Amino acid sequence: MENNELNAEEMRLWHMWKGSFQLIFGRVIKDMSEHTGLSEGDYGVLDRLDLHGGGQLRQQELADSMDWTKSRLSHHLTRMEQRGLVARKPLDADRGVQVLITPEGKSALDEARPVVAKAIRKHFLAYLTEQDVESITKLAGRTKAGSL
């Protein structure tokens, strides 16, 4: 086997990790969507506007924080604007567009946060031991440090 190929054990581990994450994440999003009507993208936009921008961010900053293209975010924001969750306003001197959370958007976010917290506890945290938490924390730290 060449160095650029995974052996059977490595492949099995990768698929287990990826599958577990996708299953947990999918269940959290499903619970949130069923209880609030928000999509994963809606929640991500609203959460970042609230936490990182005090309710507003430049559209490019928001796209960067979500690792989305400008086009993808623009299309999503259009749909969110139509539902009254966000508003956009041009900035002076062609400095881009400011995205603002509306009162309706803030209310939807406030309603979604406890639902998301409950789902994360139910589908993820409830299965972890203290040792699991330590291991995940160490792994996340090493992974983040390795990507810088």
Q: Angle between the 40-53 and 59-66 helix axes, to the nearest 10 degrees?
A: 120
Tell me whether residue 66 is in a domain: yes
What the block records as the tokens of 48 is: 């970042």
Q: CATH number for the domain including 47?
A: 1.10.10.10
Tell me whether residue 138 is in a domain: no
Tell me whether residue 122 is in a domain: no
Tell me whether residue 2 is in a domain: no
**d(C-alpha 94, C-alpha 80), whole Å:** 23
From first to last of its 148 residues, the chain has per-residue pLDDT tens of 557 899 999 999 999 999 999 999 999 999 999 999 999 999 999 999 999 979 999 999 999 999 999 999 999 999 999 999 999 999 887 778 999 999 999 999 999 999 999 999 999 999 999 999 999 999 988 887 776 5
Residue identified by tokens 């699991």 is: 132
Tell me whether residue 79 is in a domain: yes
Tell me whether residue 68 is in a domain: yes
**What single-letter DSSP state applies at residue 97?**
E
CA 36-99-26 angle, to 5 degrees, is 35
Domain span holding position 74: 37-113
Tell me whether residue 71 is in a domain: yes
**d(C-alpha 136, C-alpha 109), whole Å:** 27
User: What's the structural domain count of the chain?
Assistant: 1
Tell me whether residue 17 is in a domain: no
**d(C-alpha 125, C-alpha 141), whole Å:** 18
